[in-house]
Amino acid sequence: MKRVCVICEGQTEETFVREVLAPNFYHLNLSLLGQTVETSVGHKGGALNYARIKRAIEHTLKQKDQPFVTTFIDLYKLSSDFPAFNTISELQLAGKLHRLTQEWHKDIINNTGCRPERFLPYIQAHEFEALLFSDIGGITCVNQSWESATEELKLIKSQAKSPEYINDLPETKPEAHFKRLLHSPSYRKIRHGSIAMKNVGLSAMERDCAFFSEWVNNIRKFSEY
């Protein structure tokens, strides 16, 4: 099988790759493996500066079996040292993502000399929890006490162009809505996100999240090389 290394922001994203994404690519002879970057000695996950993630990407691209490499990190609180970051403030969401990934791709290819198709940069708008908004029932059914938040979460979703457009401010980003509305127990990304992601499922995420869907389709194209 062709190996596809997915450089992830954290443990939940790595679990998502293993339990939701990977099984949907076996039939294409693609083996997706999540990899969380070390952010400090003995610690992995969380906010990534560009130097750390670049080092992990370039190291992986240089491995003998020449794996494909892609990424799964949040736009929310993206480090300002990413290529072109200081040029995107006036752009709409699609423009921001395009410019960031285009310049990121250029930087990696220029530094490694690898075939351009082997690296697929992806930045999730605005964070992982946006994907869970694709099926509100998939998150609220995790705990019976959460079902009372269903209508308010549906309203939040309906007011955005898509789940990926739900605001990226600290108090209105997708995860903030879950923490505000889901109690007894309170929403925790690592504990509850891994359950909800399987409830929601890949097809709903692709249906509602266009940027995410484009990324998944581009991963499928690795099978053609």
CA distance 104 to 83: 6
CA distance 213 to 36: 22
CA distance 193 to 210: 21
We find that the CATH architecture of domain 2-126+205-224 is 3-Layer(aba) Sandwich (3.40)
| pLDDT category of residue 47 using cuts at 50, 70 and 90 | low
> Based on the number of CB atoms within 10 Å of its own CB, is 11 exposed (0-12), middle (13-18) or buried (19 or more)?
middle
Q: What is the pLDDT of residue 45?
A: 53
Residue pair 197/131 in contact (Cβ under 8 Å)? The answer is yes
Domain definitions of the chain by residue range? 2-126+205-224, 129-200
| pLDDT category of residue 171 using cuts at 50, 70 and 90 | very high
pLDDT digits (tens, 9 = 90+) for 106-122: 999 999 999 999 999 99
| pLDDT category of residue 104 using cuts at 50, 70 and 90 | very high
Give percent of the chain above pLDDT 70: 96
Q: What is the pLDDT of residue 106?
A: 98
CA distance 49 to 174: 22
Q: What is the pLDDT of residue 13?
A: 96
CA distance 190 to 194: 6
